[in-house]
Structure 1
Amino acid sequence: MISDVPVDYAGYRPENYFGNYNGNITIEYALATSLNIPAVKILDQLTVPVFVDKLKQAQFSQIKKTGDQLGLSVILGGCDVKLEELTALYASFASQGRYAPLRWQQQDPLKYQRQLLSPTATYLVNQILTQLQRPDLPHNFQNSGHLPRIAWKTGTSYGRKDAWSIGYNKKYTVGVWVGNFSGEGVPELNGTDSATPLLFDIFNTIDYNSANDWFAAPPGLAQRSVCTATGLPANTFCQNRVLDAYLPGISPVAKCTHLKPVMVSENQQFAYCTTCLPESGYLQKWYPNYTPEILAFYEAEHIPYEKIPAHNPQCSRIFSEFAPVITAPTSNMEYLLERAEKQKLMLHCNTHNEVKQVYWYINDQLLQAVPVNQNLFFTPEKAGKYKISCLDDQGRNTDSYITVRFLD
């Protein structure tokens, strides 16, 4: 599972194509529906250099030149690439992860082959990209009986200058690009309705009556029982379980923690910790173990969820690990502002779900107290360094530092 919620990577805020968010989702769903934010999150975990190195091994010519300058946006197409380079890369998914340079004529010799990806990983991707319940299925094919059995992926470049669709089966890999050679964008251009219908027509022409032969699961792929809430190995409290494919020695082995036990008062108005737990008059209850970013998303979108009661107000202990997380402005960043425009900076934080109010300070001077998840704005009066502090109503504080410079 991965969260599809607003994120900020040092000022880089990726957005999904339709501008929506989905909360907790499976990586399978994220790939099948072409969600941008989960893709960036996964790349952040993998790291850009590891991903760029794979693209270099796949002979992406521009990546070889500028790979060291790329950031997280590369996963969303933030680099130049040729149609033949993409097609050759997708052909490796049809060849159990083996990459080979394109041959333009049948008599051309095979120069080399390289194991670019593992057979197990490519098989799992193939299964996902074969699904039909996805937004990039062309509208005129949704009720058609003439759908080729292929795995495919679409793409639309920034400014709608390019529409891509690349598909493959065991016999063929086909890459389609639609656009203007001048690079001029077209408002109606997109991979789903501009490139994929042509891709389907090509496969229906060259391979329509072929045997319905598909990729077989390779050795090294195993099955295990996982919790549907997290996709992790089921714990004793997990009630909803499914069998899921995994890679032994690679897939996470930590058990699911989507629930956590909390000691609460008998009327369930207050929660206790080990410091303030009374000798009697309490009970144990299980609550969803949401991350701070999911809690912030639920609050911002007014999505109902089961909340842990407020912590015992008479408890003397302060939980520093639950201090507010300042998400805006981005820490240790320099902000260039127009002085004449009196531009403002937004203050926002994620907090533990027991917090109701936070207090914002600028250079140790109180700016304003606001309800949780309410954005606050302030106007820097002068250039220089600013200390931004966020204190929650439980007494937990977080400091962040930024630099402001004016463009005179």
Structure 2
Amino acid sequence: MNKLKTYVFKHKIKAVVITVALIWYAFCLPKNLFNTPTSTVITSASNTLLGAKIAKDGQWRFPESDSIPQKFKTCVLYFEDEYFYKHPGFNPISIFKALKQNLASNEVKRGASTITQQVIRLSRDGQKRTYLEKLKEFILATRIELKYSKDKILSLYANHAPFGGNVVGLEAASWRYFNRSAHQLSWAESATLAVLPNAPSLIFPGKNQQLLLKKRNRLLKKLYQKKIIDQLTYDLAVAENLPGKPYKLPQLAPHLLQKLSLSSSGKYIKTTIDEELQTQINALVESHYKTLSQNEIYNIAVLVLDVKTRNVLAYIGNSPTTKSHQKDVDIIDKPRSTGSVLKPILYSALLDDGMILPNTIVPDIPTQYGNYEPQNYNKTYDGAVSAKQALARSLNVPSVRLLKSYGLERFHSVLKQIPLTNVTFDAQHYGLSLILGGAESNLWDLCKTYAAFAGAVNHYTQTSSEYFSNEFTEPNLFANYKVDFGKKQREKPLFNAASMYLTFESLKEVNRPQEDENWSFYDDSKQIAWKTGTSYGFKDAWAIGTTKDYVVGVWAGNADGEGRPGLVGVEAAAPLLFSVFDKLPKSEWFTAPLDDMVEVEVCAKSGSRASVNCEDVIQELIPQSGLKTEACKYHYQIHLDKNLQYRVNLNCEDNSQMVQRSWFQLPPLMAYYYKAKNPFYADMPPFREDCVSKNEQLFQFIYPKPNAIIYLPKDLDETVNDVIFKIAHNKPEETLYWYLKSKYLGETKTIHEKALQPEIGDYFLTVVDEAGNEISTKFTISK
């Protein structure tokens, strides 16, 4: 130690120089050898390439990978640096031989760079080839050998070596020249890529192909002579052709690539996509697109989720249309009018709240709230229809009336809790049209919602009747991520399991497209809960379905919002939905959440809990919350005369002569439409003339509704048309007398309609029947 101190003291300058040199050597290597931009690359769950986006500098350069195929590794070592694993970064013997040969020929005939030195040269791209630069590479090569393992250095070479044109790195070259991963290459293909970085310009078809062939075959022969490959492998390898025109990289999920590149640009992303399913659905979408495009419908989107994991199994953001029809727009996350696809959420909310049971009949009659007058798709009315059938048939009027009963603000709050991210305005902005497509949502959020319902039912039946705190979790795209459903809890996530299960039971009854309408007759048919939606103006067609295991969502339309005749859910989206389900494994139907259900007596006609007046009663499983629903209000105990012809009471008939009967009777307006589609429905017999009841509601306005504001209809030529006023009477044959502001207008019989054309102003319309019963309504005629 003393000798060292003495030496340093005597040779201060030399010591300083050595110290500085050692410090420089220790820190001469950059922290990151390569700072070049890389391509965004996405793969399937099975690690198959789905697509890649070119790097910002215009190069196909995949993100670094430490995995090098053994064939390429062997080829590149025997071609570039046979003693790679033995030298310290440079090969003195090769340097000596190269100097000797180059000096003898007075020109550069042979190089002596090791793979390590080539890595340094690649990292210092753009530096001039001078003796000083060679010296720097020599020093840096020894330094990199101290920092990295040999395998890491070799992987740096494979990832950053040039392979011709704008192709950099082994994996990009493998896909560009052979259309598959480097791990799937043959000996001949691996040898071709091994010799390319030495002379990358040789790869271009028709240019120096013979030279490339000789280099490849020379390497293959060396491998044979070294007994790396046998005679047969060698013969087959040299017989293989060289690659021709570069392949386009796979683009199985271009819109998913576009989506992920926004947050993970230049990264290697292993997704949850099932490559085989994605390929199959791409083909289905292309076929469906060819059909729809004949009707000038150009855009389609499909999303498939795994209910158990919430992984995205297929992501088709758009159809293979043209640029002029917005083929690059990813529809899946774009807001579009929802049509009727929110109706199952309202149905579940009503069941959960105990406001209805599945078969509770609800009014389907002409309805007006202020200026808003909803219409059913077919412009007809059933009078009364079960809630279950109203959902299955997607009837608009019952849905609006049910939303009104449930509460617009309450339902809006439900949508915000899910959340549907595109529901951004307050409830009053949307009004009651919220349930018919007045709001916008997107395929991602809607599929997430249906998956959450399915997952909640599954979790409830698979656990001790418990839910998870995070049932409405976002779908997952990343293979290395597992969705966290939160903690188990007794508290329902939004609705109880029974309500969601019974919603699926109702949606299972939705009429399928014509080619699939007989599904229930086949034992192997898939049971699917599904719903369509069509936006106002025929601009958006939806179809979303779920089984116990999978959710499939389909949207069809035009990205620019152009509506088209025939652009309805059941025609434009549903056929594709069922084609996609055909590609998925069959699922068992949901297990009923019996712990959340109770068996009660239900009136067979009204679908409500049976009252003492209901004679036809059935046993039905309902949500426990359904015990709060009111008992049947449409059955009455009435008294008939002994001939069963007239109703009587104690004011006009002796008790011993009266016959007691239970009678199903709807209010006049409901009955007016109901009896047209239910021929066995019978109104209550009339009271005998001496027993007329003063409390019976005999007739009701169909149009207008109380306090309605009416705008006089006009033709295209501005001619003002009449307004048609209508009434429903329990006895259609009755003569009715009409008065407007006490002015007699005339009478009607059987068909109770009056055509009027009042002036602008406020009016009272009064109608009187032959017995002197009268009803009135107030309305306003406006411009």
Compared CA separation, residues 336 and 193, structure 1 to 2 (3 A): closer
CA distance in 2, matches of 1:220, 1:123: 10
TM-fit CA distance, 1:229: 0.9
Compared CA separation, residues 208 and 62, structure 1 to 2 (3 A): closer
CA distance in 1, matches of 2:676, 2:518: 37
Name the one with the larger helix percent. Answer: 2
**Matches of residues 1-400 of structure 1 in structure 2 within 5 Å?**
1-3=360-362, 5-10=364-369, 11-96=371-456, 98-107=471-480, 115-131=493-509, 134-135=510-511, 137-143=512-518, 147-205=525-583, 207-208=584-585, 212=588, 214-217=590-593, 219-235=595-611, 238-256=614-632, 258-278=634-654, 281-298=657-674, 303=679, 305-315=681-691, 318-319=694-695, 322=697, 324-337=699-712, 341-353=719-731, 356-371=734-749, 373-380=751-758, 382-400=759-777
TM-fit CA distance, 1:368: 1.7
Structure 1 portions without partners, runs of 5+: none
Contact 1:4 1:24 (C-alpha < 8 Å) held by counterparts = yes
TM-fit CA distance, 1:177: 0.7
392-401 or 177-186: bigger deviation:
392-401
31-40 or 107-116: bigger deviation:
107-116
One-letter amino acid of the structure 2 residue matched with residue 229 of structure 1: K
Compared CA separation, residues 236 and 216, structure 1 to 2 (3 A): closer
Share of identical aligned residues, percent? 27
CA distance in 2, matches of 1:369, 1:118: 54
Task: Please state whether the residue corresponding to 1:245 is helix, strand or coil.
Answer: strand
What's the Cα RMSD here? 3.2
TM-fit CA distance, 1:376: 0.9
One-letter amino acid of the structure 2 residue matched with residue 57 of structure 1: Q
CA distance in 2, matches of 1:364, 1:386: 10
78-87 or 187-196: bigger deviation:
187-196
Contact 1:93 1:126 (C-alpha < 8 Å) held by counterparts = no
Aligned positions, number? 399
Compared CA separation, residues 356 and 280, structure 1 to 2 (3 A): farther
TM-score, normalization by structure 2: 0.46
TM-fit CA distance, 1:370: 1.5
TM-fit CA distance, 1:274: 4.3
CA distance in 1, matches of 2:384, 2:482: 48
TM-score, normalization by structure 1: 0.84
Contact 2:603 2:632 (C-alpha < 8 Å) held by counterparts = yes
Residue 403 (structure 1) aligns with: 780
Contact 1:332 1:401 (C-alpha < 8 Å) held by counterparts = yes
CA distance in 2, matches of 1:115, 1:161: 33
Contact 2:361 2:608 (C-alpha < 8 Å) held by counterparts = no
TM-fit CA distance, 1:362: 0.7
Task: Please state whether the residue corresponding to 1:159 is helix, strand or coil.
Answer: coil
Contact 2:529 2:547 (C-alpha < 8 Å) held by counterparts = yes
Contact 2:365 2:382 (C-alpha < 8 Å) held by counterparts = no
323-332 or 337-346: bigger deviation:
337-346
Residue 287 (structure 2) aligns with: none
CA distance in 2, matches of 1:289, 1:96: 39
CA distance in 2, matches of 1:373, 1:290: 19
Residue 130 (structure 2) aligns with: none
Task: Please state whether the residue corresponding to 1:95 is helix, strand or coil.
Answer: helix
One-letter amino acid of the structure 1 residue matched with residue 394 of structure 2: S
Contact 2:710 2:779 (C-alpha < 8 Å) held by counterparts = yes
TM-fit CA distance, 1:383: 2.6
Task: Please state whether the residue corresponding to 1:92 is helix, strand or coil.
Answer: helix
CA distance in 2, matches of 1:338, 1:23: 26
Compared CA separation, residues 323 and 292, structure 1 to 2 (3 A): closer
225-234 or 11-20: bigger deviation:
11-20
CA distance in 2, matches of 1:26, 1:302: 13
Contact 1:264 1:272 (C-alpha < 8 Å) held by counterparts = yes
Compared CA separation, residues 282 and 94, structure 1 to 2 (3 A): closer
Compared CA separation, residues 333 and 140, structure 1 to 2 (3 A): closer
